[in-house]
Structure formats: C-alpha cells, structure tokens
Structure 1
Amino acid sequence: MRGLRLLRASAALLGCLGVLLLFGGTPAFAHTALKDATPAPGAKVGPGTSVIALTFARLKAGTTPKLTLTGSDGTAVHVGQPVVADGSVICAAVTPLRTGVTTLTYTVTAADGDTQTNAFQFQVADGAQTPADPSACQGLSLSAPDRGGSDAILGLGRTTALSVFAAAAVVIVGGAVLASRMLRGARPTGRRRATW
C-alpha cells in the first residue's frame, strides 16, 4: 500500500513538471522589445543630433507612439510628431540637444495590442560624433519639434485656456451681481418702528 502511495506521488510530481515544461518554457511573443536605437542606450553623441530612431520587432498598425526627452537639468527637449516607418521603426525630429545625460522615454503598442512604456539614457557631449540619420528615417517628412509657442497660454492649449478664462469671468461677474443684490437687501429702509 505504501509503495502505491509513493508511485502516485511520483506520477503526480512528474505530471506537474511536464505541464510546467510544456507551458512554462514557451517564450512570450506578446511583447515587442527595443532592438536598436539612434542614439543607443548608453551611447555618447554630439549636440548636433537632430533625429532619433527606435527599432522594434513589430508595432500595431494605426497607433501613434509617444516619445519624450528630458535633459540633464530636468527640462523637456522638444520632440516632433513621431512617424512609424516600415511598421517597426519610429523616427522623430528633436531640437538641438544640450550636453549632459538625456533620458528618452517611449510608449509603444505592440502588434498584439499591448502598450509598453520604457526609458533609457544616453549622453550628449561636445566633441562626440553626431550619428547619421537612420536609413529608415531618411526621406521621411518629419514634423518640426513643437516648441509650445503662440498656441499655448499659461501652458494650456489655446482653446482650453480661453474656456478657463471665460468660466472665470462668468463666476466673477455672477458673484459681483449676487453680492450687490445681497447688499441692497441688507440696507435699512429708513422707516422706524414706533415704540409704545
């Protein structure tokens, strides 16, 4: 009887190991990894770098990746609207980079629809070689980096800022009208009550 129990336990253990090997050893194809980048993670580039490119296995068609750059002093580096070339290469124009360590953060959607966000750093140094624009990005019409110019008011989009100002004006005028009516109602009428 004891031998039968040991045999059952051994068979159950072997069955569990077999299931783990069968399903646990299958690589996850759901995610796309960064295959190449210009500038590459940890690279040293010159301040004249004007285009960045990220290469992935495959990206979901019709999605727009998001790229942000942060300089060593913590200020944002302006990036143009990213363009996807060949279904796997993201290209974007950037304003001239300042010296120091720059952080590039990207959000992409893999072919299976999974959204991923990651970041890496590279160094911008005087005297370093400026990388050539990647071949996949050459010939593309890349939009100039948005510097948040005349369309922005106090850091908000023009339409949003105007809506906020209009709502504030309505609140201020309405408050003034209500306050004046309340003050009129609180004034004495001039009649005195007779006291007996």
Structure 2
Amino acid sequence: MTVPPSRPIAVRLGAAALAVLVALLIPASPAWAHNSLKTATPARDATVPSAPTEVTLEFMQRLDPTFTTIVLSDAAKRKLPTGEPVVTGAKSTVQVTDTLPNGTYTVAYRVVSADGHPVQGSYPFTVADPTSSAAPVANVSASASTPSAAAAVEPDGGPNAGVLVAGAALVLLVLATAGLLWRRAARR
C-alpha cells in the first residue's frame, strides 16, 4: 500500500489559511461595515466661543429618520429642550431651543443605518462665551445625579460583518478539510 504524499494537503491548507488571513486583514467595505459618526458640530471635546443653536451629526452611511435620536444634556445630566431630529441622507440636525450658558454639555445619539444595525454614542463639548452673563451650569456629583437618556454610552463594540464572514469561512474551511480527510481515510 502506498501512502499518498502529504504535500498537496499541506499546500491546500496553507493556501486556505492565507486566504482567511487576507480576508481578515482587508478592511470591510462600507456595505459590510456598521455605521459610525464621521463629523459633529460642535465637535467632540471642542470648546466653542458661543452657544450653538443647533447640533449636526454626520455619519458614514444614510440614516433611517424614524430611528434617529439626538439628546443634549447639561453637566448635571439634565436633558435640554431641542427640536426633533431632521435627517437628510447621512446627516441629522437638531435645533437647540434655549440659549446655552457657559458649561460642559453632552450630545448623545442613537441611530439606525441602512444595514439595520443600531449605533449609539456620546461626546462632550464646552461653551466658553466670554461675553455671556449667564452663570455656568454647575456639575453635580455622581452620587447626587440620576442617570438620564443622555448618560454616556460608548459606541457598539461588537464584531463587524467582515470579521463574522471571515470566521464563518474559516469554520466552513475546517469542516470541508475534515470531511476530505475523513473520506480519504474511509477509502483505505
């Protein structure tokens, strides 16, 4: 009985492993990637010289207007009045209905993009208007405040679709290789 050379199997497994590695290292295209915040006005961690009259968020993909929420809160985590979000493509804008005194504010958002995946996050900005006569908003201690809808939320940290597809391909590759080896062993 002759033993078949093991080189073809090793070459195939090496090529398959290389293909999976390349699939994992190539960034996911926008069609596969989840939406993310591209730009914001006021910007993340910005100090603005005058109170904004609106907050505009631009994302990488189109937004579903029905599932777009933007909340503005002050340093005491109190929700501030804004208009309803107006969505145009990948941008959403809310009007700030009151004048903001000097202080730190948080913009919190939750949107659903074309792929149906919800994305949420938040960021701070500061108003430092030298001509403002309004008293700055005082920050209350964490023990005295209650969480609100605008509490800091980190963006979704789940795996993106590219990683999931590559993982599924790897599982299929392992199963196919095991099946091939099983069939060869059964022939002997």
Do Structure 1 and Structure 2 share a fold, with TM-score over 0.5?
Answer: yes
Report how far residue 73 of structure 1 moved: 2.2
Matched, 1:19 2:20: yes
Query: Structure 2 vs 1, CA of residues 124 and 5 (structure 1 numbering), >3 Å: closer, same or farther?
Result: same
Q: Does 1:73 align with 2:59?
A: no
CA distance in 2, matches of 1:78, 1:60: 22
Runs of 4+ aligned residues of structure 1 deviating over 6 Å after TM superposition are none
Amino acid at match of 2:100: L
Report how far residue 3 of structure 1 moved: 10
Equivalent in the alignment of 2:161: none
Question: Which range is displaced more, 8-17 or 90-99?
Answer: 8-17
Q: Distance in 1 between matches of 2:3 and 2:43?
A: 62
Number of residue-to-residue matches in the alignment: 127
Give, as a single letter, the amino acid of the residue that structure 2 aligns with 1:59.
R
Q: CA RMSD in A?
A: 2.7
Query: Residue 93 of structure 1 is aligned with which of 63, 72, 95?
Result: 95
Q: 2:56 aligned with 1:53, yes or no?
A: yes
Inter-partner Cα distance in structure 2 for 1:107 and 1:83? 14
CA distance in 1 between counterparts of 2:99 and 2:66 reads 27
Instruction: Give the match for residue 177 of structure 1.
Output: none
User: 1:67·1:105 contact (CA, 8 Å) conserved in 2?
Assistant: yes
Residue 24 of structure 1, CA deviation: 5.0
Please say if residues 60 and 112 of structure 1, whose CA atoms lie closer than 8 Å, have aligned partners that are also in contact. no
Residue ranges of structure 1 left out of the alignment (5+ in a row): 129-196
Q: Larger relative contact order (C-alpha < 8 A, sep ≥ 6)?
A: 2
Answer with 96-105 or 36-45: which moved more. 96-105
Q: Which amino acid aligns with 1:97?
A: L
User: Which of these residues, 36, 40, 49, is aligned with residue 37 of structure 1?
Assistant: 40
Is the aligned partner of 1:111 residue 2:104?
no
Q: Please, what TM-score do these two structures have when normalized by structure 1?
A: 0.55
SS at match of 2:9: helix
Counterpart secondary structure, 2:19 = helix
Write out per-residue CA displacement over residues 92-148 of structure 1, whole angstroms, 9 at most, x where no aligned residue: 1112223222111101111222111111111111229xxxxxxxxxxxxxxxxxxxx
Partners of 1:14 and 1:72 lie apart in 2 by 56
- By how many angstroms is 1:8 displaced? 3.2
- TM-superposed CA distance for 1:42, in Å, is 1.3
Is 1:82 aligned to residue 85 of structure 2?
Answer: yes
Alpha carbons 1:59, 1:108 under 8 Å: kept: no
C-alpha distance 96-111 of structure 1, shift in aligned 2 (>3 A): same
Q: Structure 2, unaligned stretches of length 5 or more?
A: 132-188
Partner Cα distance (2:67, 2:58) in 1: 14
